[in-house]
Structure 1
């Protein structure tokens, strides 16, 4: 009984750890051309255009992450009034996942 409890506890801990690993991974920039070529994600240029169509301004930062198996392109934009905005896009199709003003 004790061995089974220990085994189950270890399995649970390992499972939680692997879920955390799958939850959020930065994608290296050298991986991007291959992902675009494979059709896994859209080009960063087209994703930038989409973000700017949602929130006009100047792009100040971008990041490509993999969240639970989904590629998410995160764009920070400063508008004409100096407000910062965060736009999260599904990198595979350009759908807007989140559009929020930074506080």
Structure 2
């Protein structure tokens, strides 16, 4: 029983550590980062995503700071009605993830 409790506590601590390493950034912070040249302009990031999904529509965007990197997350509905989860490095514009949403 004691071993089970210890394993459970380790799992919870690991989950909390992962959550602590990701932080949502508000619109004001995002604008400051863009204006300082730290991250790319959102319009250019959005255009890059829509080139991958022509005729698609972006339904949700979010900027996070994860492990010291700025990650731009988007949800896209393509022209066929398929939802896609997309992540980009907001500093470089590099595509990190582009897969169908479950």
**Do both proteins adopt the same fold according to a TM-score greater than 0.5, normalized to the shorter chain?**
yes
Uncovered stretches (5+) of structure 2, i.e. residues with no partner: 1-12
Which runs of 5 or more structure 1 residues have no equivalent in the other structure? Answer: 1-12
Scaled by the length of structure 2, the TM-score of the pair is 0.78
Superposition map of 1:36-47 within 5 A: 36-47=34-45
**In the alignment, does 2:78 pair up with 1:79?**
yes
- State the TM-score, normalizing by the size of structure 1: 0.77
| Other-structure match for 1:3 | none
Provide runs of 4+ in structure 1 moved above 6 Å.
Answer: 16-19
Q: Are residue 62 (structure 1) and residue 72 (structure 2) matched?
A: no
* 2:23 corresponds to 1:25: yes
Report Cα offsets for 1:38-81 as digits up to 9, x if no partner. Answer: 11100111111111112230001100001101000001110111
